Structure 1
Amino acid sequence: MTVKPATFPGAGALRETGKLFALGLDTTRAVFRRPFQVREFIQQCWFIASVTILPTALVSIPFGAVIALQLGSLTRQIGAQSFTGAASVLAIIQQASPIVTALLIAGAGGSAICADLGSRKIRDEIDAMEVLGVSPIQRLVVPRVLASMLISLLLNGMVSVVGVLGGYFFNVILQGGTPGAYLASFSALAQLPDLWISEIKAVIFGFLAGIVAAYRGLNPGSGPKGVGDAVNQSVVITFLLLFFVNFVLTTLYLQLVPAKGM
């Protein structure tokens, strides 16, 4: 008589979470091993940048404009127009910029990574590499994850600049804001840690997007349909993780870093 192991609701999800965490640890350790796949890393950086830079630039303009217009209307209602610049810029840099960057990295770059690894898996290329003694994590996963982190960091800076300029333009032109007050409030309340937390978020979000895409790509279902399902799952899981991690990082930052006063 065979005794089946005890199961409980959510055991499958917990097991998958553990495997994802284990892949993250293995990838982190593999970063420091040699040889490092420099050519693969450069190719992945170029690919991710090529599929995300234009959508990111186009999305950052209306994103910054919407935040500036909304906050401009709100501050006008309560008689605090002089704080429009600070509120808009801080919201864009701390929250909107890393989130927009990560969503596009996961949606465009992450889905492509998952599809590539998934197709390799169903063609038994991953198994063949393991038979030959080649680590798929060091050869395929590490360059893709590092590329996601680097491009996410760079695109976050671009989104911050474009979003701030777009918010400035729409606030001053459409809402009749004062350019001097917009810039003065920003310089009075913004501080260097606001930029650091934005860049830290971008790196962490890029790591999550790359790891989730690699994990689902290395563990697809059978056939092309399984790869397609894995791509969809990787995007959804990444989005959920991004918003949760963003909440945790924002809470820690607001608790640990004192705000700058006027």
Structure 2
Amino acid sequence: MTTTTSNRRASAKIPAPVHVARKARSAKVAFDEIGAQAVFYRNTIAEIPIALKLYRRETLRLLAEVSMGSGALAVIGGTVVIVGFLTLSAGATVAVQGYSSLGDIGVEALTGFFAAFVNVRIAAPVVAGIGLAATIGAGATAQIGAMRISEEIDALEVIGVRSVPYLASTRVVAGMIVIIPLYSVAVLASFLASRTATVVIYGQSAGVYDHYFATFLVPSDLLWSFLQATLMALVVMLIHTYFGYTASGGPAGVGEAVGRAVRASLAAVVMVTLMVSLAVYGTSGNFNFAG
């Protein structure tokens, strides 16, 4: 018993050079992963023209699938439906919090301003990005990952089909196209929910709400918001196609790839929101409180 305990203690005391070597190997693996992702993203974007030229039918099929779903999911589980419900909830929450908080200081009439400001710049883009990652992105990772572990991607290469433009570039194109009507639905749903909650539930005058909403809704902010949503779609689809394309380890590996992709894309959505906000609004915020 004493000998065993001493052996365990000796094995637990790993020399410092071994720790350094392990950390160096871990850092190398992390940098290799970043490099592999960068190369895949570059190839995927560069081969978009090939996807549009050679695989137009596949692009159209994916466009229909990611927008309205397929089979039974087309009724209740399409991306448009899911993002619409998410942004309805977000818009209603903005109205509830705005009316309650502004009512504490006696300016609940400014709820329309609050809805126009928060929905366009924060709530609708972030919620749409989350919905995109949870629906289109996760589905793309699962589909491509299943093809990888069943060696279908290798079969595509054997018969002369270029796997990256066929599997990744087509999905990136579909995601960036579908995000425009998808985000339009998201913005309209958030506006509708905010107005309904404020006017119908809290009983504020519709004229007061519409006045402040129209006064502080800046058209250029809407355009920047659409650009932000498009960048989110690009980043989300690149991340999810990469993790699906490089999945390994059988069905369990596909599930792990989906989880890693969703975590990475959710972090990327927040980072895109931060970067666009800093680039567009900066420190001034492009905001003039008047009227």
Question: 1:258 aligned to 2:276?
Answer: no
Question: 1:20 aligned to 2:48?
Answer: no
Counting only pairs closer than 5 Å after superposition, residues 77-156 of structure 1 correspond to structure 2 as 77-156=104-183
2:263 pairs with 236, 240, 248, which one? 236
Instruction: Provide structure 1 residue ranges, at least 5 long, that are not aligned to the other structure.
Output: none
1:41 pairs with 32, 55, 59, which one? 59
Partner residue of 1:166? 193
Partner residue of 1:181? 208
Tell me the number of residue pairs that the alignment of Structure 1 and Structure 2 aligns: 259
Q: CA deviation at 1:80?
A: 2.2
Q: Could you say if the C-alpha distance between residues 73 and 234 of structure 1 is closer, same or farther in structure 2, counting changes exceeding 3 Å?
A: same
Counterpart amino acid of residue 236 in structure 2: A
Q: How big is each residue's C-alpha offset from its partner over 1:48-98, in whole Å with a ceiling of 9 and x where there is no partner?
A: 112312222222222111111101111111222232101112211221112
2:86 and 2:131 in contact (8 A); partners too: no
Instruction: Provide structure 2 residue ranges, at least 5 long, that are not aligned to the other structure.
Output: 1-20, 69-77
Q: CA deviation at 1:223?
A: 1.1
Q: How big is each residue's C-alpha offset from its partner over 1:219-251, in whole Å with a ceiling of 9 and x where there is no partner?
A: 112211111111111111111111122111112
Relative contact order (alpha carbons < 8 A, sep ≥ 6): 1 or 2 greater?
1
Runs of 4+ displaced beyond 6 Å: none
Q: CA deviation at 1:261?
A: 4.5
Residues of 2 paired with 1:116 and 1:128: CA distance?
A: 15
1:7 pairs with 15, 24, 32, which one? 24
1:48 and 1:105 in contact (8 A); partners too: no
Q: CA deviation at 1:26?
A: 1.2
Q: CA deviation at 1:8?
A: 5.2
Partner residue of 2:5? none
- How does the TM-score come out when normalised to structure 2? 0.83
1:190 and 1:260 in contact (8 A); partners too: no
Counterpart amino acid of residue 259 in structure 1: F
Residues of 2 paired with 1:252 and 1:182: CA distance?
A: 30
Partner residue of 2:17? none
Residues of 1 paired with 2:269 and 2:278: CA distance?
A: 14
Counterpart amino acid of residue 240 in structure 2: A
1:60 pairs with 84, 87, 90, which one? 87
Q: Could you say if the C-alpha distance between residues 188 and 120 of structure 1 is closer, same or farther in structure 2, counting changes exceeding 3 Å?
A: same
Residues of 1 paired with 2:80 and 2:278: CA distance?
A: 29
Moved more, 111-120 or 184-193: 184-193
Identity %: 23
1:56 and 1:159 in contact (8 A); partners too: yes
Partner residue of 1:204? 231
Q: CA deviation at 1:23?
A: 1.7
1:221 pairs with 223, 238, 248, which one? 248
Root-mean-square deviation over aligned CA pairs: 2.1
1:191 and 1:260 in contact (8 A); partners too: no
1:49 and 1:151 in contact (8 A); partners too: yes
- How does the TM-score come out when normalised to structure 1? 0.91
